[in-house]
Structure 1
Amino acid sequence: MLRNASTHAAGVVIGDRPLDELVPLYQDPRSDMPATQFNMKWVEPAGLVKFDFLGLKTLTVIARALGYIEKAGGKIPDLENASFDDPKVYELLSTGAGIGVFQMESSGMRDTLAKMKPDKIEDLIALISLYRPGPMKNIDVYVDRKFGRAEVDYLHPDLKTVLDETYGVIIYQEQVMQIAQILSGYSLGEADLLRRAMGKKQKDEMARQKVRFLEGAEAKGVSRGKAEYIFELVNEFAGYGFNKSHAAAYAAIAYRTGYLKANHPVEFLAALMSLDRSNVEKLAVFFQEARRMDTPIRPPDINLSEADFSVKDGAVVYALGAVRNVSLSAMEALAEERKANGPFRDLFDFAERVDPKLLNKRTLENLARAGAFDSIEPDRARAFAAAETLCAMANKAQEERDTAQVSLFGGADPDAGGLARPKLPDVPPWTATQRLDEELTAIGYYLSGHPLDDQADMLARRGVVFVADAPDRVADGASAIRMAGVVRRRQERVSQRTGKRFAWLTLSDPSGEFEVLVNPDMLQSSRDALEVGASVMISASIDDKEEQLRFFADNIEALEDAPAAAGLKVRLNVDALESVKARLDRAADSAKGEGVIHLILSVSDGSEAELRLPGRLPTTPPVQAALRGVKGVESVELI
């Protein structure tokens, strides 16, 4: 007894007369479309034709990318009529660069792309058909036969034309039907019945079909033993055989997205990010892919960005509407105001021109965190602290617009009228680390830099290898390397074999993201150091057997526990002396002195003066980062 009603996600039935004359119908109160009370198994015997109509977001991605190309004045590729022979597409996919490519995005699929190294559309059709439970076991067979590492077996000389393109591997339902036609003289209708019986594992029908297959093969001169072997093999494959026409349609879309990625990466990545504007995890993946491909992404900017992602001057421009806790409609209104009346001149001009109903304090704070005000106020801490003042000013400006009155208070330009402009808050600027942490809060990932950028010298001295350079080290024979990164995610699992907890860490370094497996003992001893946002240094073993590098933690230490530098050379302006002294005094209160610090001062006549500070002073990575964040400090170098 069925206790509830459900509706097929994409199933649509078509009849030759009103449906209520053929099947009982049901009206879900939550839907405006009736549904059949028969399930998909019984609608066809009742006289209906069933279709599955799929709505694919990828088609919108393609259309949006083409729109970006057209808007930039480029030539729009005719993807509908293009041949499938662009070598750049296959070169891209052969490296495993499947991010954003339809059906090719999972890590397993990307590994398989690198293994298969597709060089024609038939490979993509086969891969889409094979990469599923069941037929997946034949991927290695296909790859080994393709590259001549294994002999191709066509089962019977007459089947070479059917199995040649798949190197003897039965992949498609159409191949099952053709084998029955060629070896046993099946008609097309009979072959389709055989395909259905095999696919649905209908035992009685299969018994009849086996007799028919063997008799037909014998009549064509095929030995009974060979015919039985082929029938059982075909039966095994047919259970999970894929419809080639379906796979070919998917492969065509995969090729088109691959074509856009290979030939128009800026527009393609902008389209991908546009369709996942509210999905931070996806945006982070696309951002890392853009970095890997050297595709420029410009940060959010109230005088450049649109509400959605856009393309300008060969770069993806980050969407204002993708900043967290920012309304898309508010950003659309902001962009319209900028187009109508020109760029915003400063924070006060911005506050006077925006609608306060659309922009609240939280919105302004997150725009400041994200760096959207950098073009009119480079000090993000000051822009952040000014949010409440700006909200009050925006409300006052709206009141005056509503009452059509001119302010009694003079602005910067008395002749133009306007509101009195208060002084911006006087707050300490954020350090480089604070700036990135605030940006992470607003964006969801590091966009303009990375927390480890300031420690690159120290990391290099300790032999740390960034993940982008790891393949080169492995190619040189390395089986273990030292890595460093900021913990982005920690996913703990329970081992089915031992019952102990282990973890997959997702870490970020200045060159990209990577995963590290942490065994149960290491997880237990290092769990406190592996909180999200923590910076760690990891000694990792490497497994490169599957072409995709895999990292296994042998040792983990918090980066803040890393040894201090022997000394620092700080190059700065004279005006920054007091701020540097204050930072060092604060550091000395919480850390012991371990190194020497030399100050290189720029003098007004263009010369430099070097001053060694007395005593031993803190020179740890956090101290280095704090000094780099002082306004007027040009550089901090290890000595």
Structure 2
Amino acid sequence: RSEGLILLSGGPDGPVDPLFAQSRPGDANQALTTMKAVFGDRFYVELQRHGRPEEARAEPGLVEWAYANDVPLVATNDVYYAKAAQARSHDALLCIADGAFTGQEDRRRVTDQHWFKPAADMRTLFADLPEACDNTLDIARRCAFLVQTRAPILPRFDTGAGRSEDDELAHQAREGLKVRLAQVTPAAPEEDYWKRLEWEVSIIQQMGFPGYFLIVSDFIKWAKSHGIPVGPGRGSGAGSLVAWSLTITDLDPLRFGLLFERFLNPERVSMPDFDIDFCQERREEVISYVQQRYGSDRVAQIITFGTLQARAVLRDVGRVLQMPLGQVDRLAKMVPANPANPVTLAQAIELEPRLREARDNEKSVETLLDTALELEGLYRNASTHAAGIVIGDRPLVELTPLYKDPRSTIPATQFNM
């Protein structure tokens, strides 16, 4: 599994440095030897200098082993923020995450050297080991990455009847339309329904989406057969006669004059998107069915990220700075509350003279606002999308990194929508 990969030894939080720092050179050397045996000339001994005591304790052993075993050194910096001036804001962010205060002694701290240092700064830092900086370029030259454009990867629908997806879609749509027309009084001549159906089927086949329609129809039919309430359909998908025939929707598009082209148009190629509403109390049953149908390793929810918004970030930063609660609350309420069009902190400062006055008159408020401006918009927590589910044609770990939400048994993609 190491083919095509470059390995660095890991730095002070990796598997090797702590062994040297704990005066266990034999174990450390053995770990390095194992890494070299697996990765060969694609292995580098990593050095970091953030001012941590354990880095200084480990470095002599790392350098000695690298020289003795003809393994190149490489200098790295563990980057947490872009600029040196952001160290204070990052420290506040750690306190927000840990429920601590900046003035607290017994809390997590890092040095102020975790910024994105330019090459000149790194060469100054490693002036005694210039080859460690040179080798960063060596690694860069050995790396190649190209984002390839491709069509969406759609899971295959098992027809169970030996038919192709194209044939199965046409078969189910025709049979479904017969049932629909027998149940209602048609809003137009039946000939119009059949012409519309065949035209839609041909467009869906031409664009390569029969499987999508069949998959959606399958789990909706399953839900309805198990007494799970399903919405009648909303959005542009209600304009599809094929969707009505497959019971994806319960709206006759000819009766209501709805256009299929609003949903799927060969002149504007994009993924179709059905808006489907399931009973909230039994939604998990539908997801479980999809997992059983396509494989639990091929089904995932979609991650979402909560961000630090203007009012919330003021309160969070005010708390970790141990400012008076009443003062912070008054300042936070100066930010207009508009959920439909949230006001940023920078906009609020520009619009609200009382905020500017407080900033100009009190050093603590200036620190609060400056820190909050740096942190606003950053991700605060991960959750799962309220509706989205991903189904793959292969194990999803081959397509996307996954996240395990401790509140759910279903993994989530680490890519959001």
TM-score (norm 2): 0.26
Please identify which structure carries the higher strand content.
Answer: 1
- The higher radius of gyration belongs to 1
Relative contact order: is structure 1 or structure 2 higher (C-alpha 8 Å, sep ≥ 6)? 2
